[in-house]
Structure 1
Amino acid sequence: MTPTTKVLVAYGTTNGSTAQIAEAVAAVLRERGLTADVEAARSVASVAAYDAVVVGGGLYAGRWHKDARRFVRRHGRELSRRPLWLFSSGPLDATASERDIPPVPGVAKAMGRLDAREHITFGGRLEEGATGLVARMILRSGKGGDFRDFGAIEAWAGRVADELEIAA
């Protein structure tokens, strides 16, 4: 790979929190001299133009967002042939900042099948205006908030960039 490595950062999100994490990851990759595109997972037709891929999905009831799940199934063959990193977002508390949270079972299975380099879980965000019955119930119970740690997100994206630079 060259310093102009092209990276796709694809995401599955319902209320935009995971999209913002994907944008933050791509911003760090760009700062490091990589070309990074950010796309909603459901809108990606092909990953053939990319040297590496990062896929993120929000967590809902112990499952990765459906668009992220479908993305890794649809593009599995191509993803297994290039460096791949996965992230999840979702805990609506400080646990993601306090300790490593293992991937949910479906993500763990995809990691093995696709030989992903790493998975990390970041805190999530759920705030007023969120769509969905469960989201509204969580908010009514007072358990919403923004638990994303952008310092940790940027540090992780820096490690991804480091690995891509070493491979160059």
Structure 2
Amino acid sequence: MTEKVLVAYGTTNGSTARIAETVADVLRTRGLTVETAPAGAVDDVTPYDAVVVGGALYAGRWHKDARRFVRRHRRALAERPLWLFSSGPLDSSAGERNIAPVPGVRRVMVRLDAQEHITFGGCLEEGARGFVARMILRDGRGGDFRDFPGIERWAARVADEMAAPALL
């Protein structure tokens, strides 16, 4: 059984961090010891039995900190169960259908034999940093499309998989 889990994330405006915290909270309610951290702040993943990595999507790419995290820790990540999530669509599409991972995340899934990937709706609200973010907001295309009940359901399923004997 998995006991100690890391939930690492790459975010610019905090939306993906909130998703990561929600995932961590659900895992904790299932009896797991969980730490969350910005992906760029993690020096070592060897103390963890399993890892969840999330990254915001920007222009069809995973957040740079999430990309760098999986590249920097690829050997250790390949030796433990790994789940991935993305956040990004600024509409309800993520709740309506399964959205395939962007090409870079798909490569990570294959190279590191990740258990699963899911895409959640994103959030972009007034005060967001970045030129593109401000343009999107100015065009009226922002909003909060995160589905927290859906995130919680996914995290509960991940917790069940972590508890499965096959992941020993």
**Above 0.5 in TM-score?**
yes
Kindly provide the CA deviation profile for residues 74-127 of structure 1, in whole angstroms up to 9, marking residues without a partner as x: 000000000000000000000000000000000000000000000000000000
Aligned letter for 2:145?
F
Correspondence for 2:39: 41
Correspondence for 2:50: 52
Correspondence for 2:12: 14
Correspondence for 1:96: 94
The 2-side partners of 1:80 and 1:154 are apart by 25
Correspondence for 1:165: 163
Q: Show structure 1 runs of 5+ residues with no match.
A: none
Correspondence for 2:145: 147
Measured after TM superposition, the shift of residue 166 of structure 1 is 1.2
What is the number of residues matched between the two proteins?
166
**Normalising by the residue count of structure 2, what TM-score does the alignment of the two structures yield?**
0.98
Percent of aligned positions with the same letter in both sequences?
73
**The residue matched to 1:56 in structure 2 has which SS?**
strand
Aligned letter for 1:16?
G
Aligned letter for 1:126?
L
Over the aligned positions, Cα root-mean-square deviation in angstroms equals 0.7
The 2-side partners of 1:125 and 1:164 are apart by 28
Q: Does 1:63 align with 2:61?
A: yes
The 1-side partners of 2:118 and 2:145 are apart by 15
The 2-side partners of 1:156 and 1:113 are apart by 23
Q: Does 1:74 align with 2:67?
A: no
**Normalising by the residue count of structure 1, what TM-score does the alignment of the two structures yield?**
0.98
Aligned letter for 1:119?
H
The 2-side partners of 1:43 and 1:166 are apart by 29
The 2-side partners of 1:165 and 1:81 are apart by 17
Aligned letter for 2:40?
R
Kindly provide the CA deviation profile for residues 102-154 of structure 1, in whole angstroms up to 9, marking residues without a partner as x: 00000000000000000000000000000000000000000000000000000
The 2-side partners of 1:8 and 1:145 are apart by 28
**The residue matched to 2:164 in structure 1 has which SS?**
helix
Aligned letter for 2:68?
R
